[in-house]
Amino acid sequence: MKHALATLVAAVLLPLASHAQLTVHGVKYEEAAEVRGTKLVLNGAGTRYKGPFKVYAAGLYMTRKAGSPEEVFGTAGPKRMSVTMLRDIDASELGRLFTRGVEDNMDRASMVKLIPGLMRMSQIFSDHKQLKTGDNFVLEWVPGVGTIVYVRGLAQGEPFKEPEFFNALMRIWLGPNPADWRLKDSLLGKAA
């Protein structure tokens, strides 16, 4: 009898668990994602504020949960940062802010090596002119391939091959001078 009851409970609850998600200002982040056949888990998600204004929601996916920036940077395997705009923004301005965010969180010698990639990243966003409320972009790290940038679901050119490029971008949100401290805590799975 106990075994039958446990089986029934598992049969009812398992499908519900597989559709678990976290909603951040209307943006849904599934608890699991897949990148090239590798299962990822949602490490955390939150909102980027600029003053009192909501700018975007962001969710970080990894192969396992990490509670510190060092763990995020050191975790092997694919990773994904998914960002959905909560307001319209000039895309070229976003590209400049990315470069500034990397600059604020890296030493000069390390950043100099990434300048060609950062210039290309800025150009990707400049080419889109504007990101509107609800538009999404994704940064994916795929070992052996590089960092792939998707805007509105479409890959933007060739992957960035340098392994350190993805972590440099992650420092925008997880570095010592993050874009938003509350977002940093949320991405690391800490209560916001």
What does the pLDDT look like over 10-64, one tens digit per residue?
444 444 444 578 899 999 999 999 999 999 999 999 999 998 999 999 999 999 9
Compute the C-alpha angle 99/69/80, nearest 5°.
Answer: 65
What does the pLDDT look like over 138-147, one tens digit per residue?
999 999 999 9
Residue that the structure tokens 């990490």 belong to: 66
Helix axes 163-174, 108-127, angle to 10 degrees: 90
Domains and CATH numbers, the chain: 20-187 (3.50.70.10)
One-letter identity of residue 104? D
Q: What is the mean pLDDT of the chain?
A: 88
* Rounded Cα distance, 42 and 192, in Å: 15
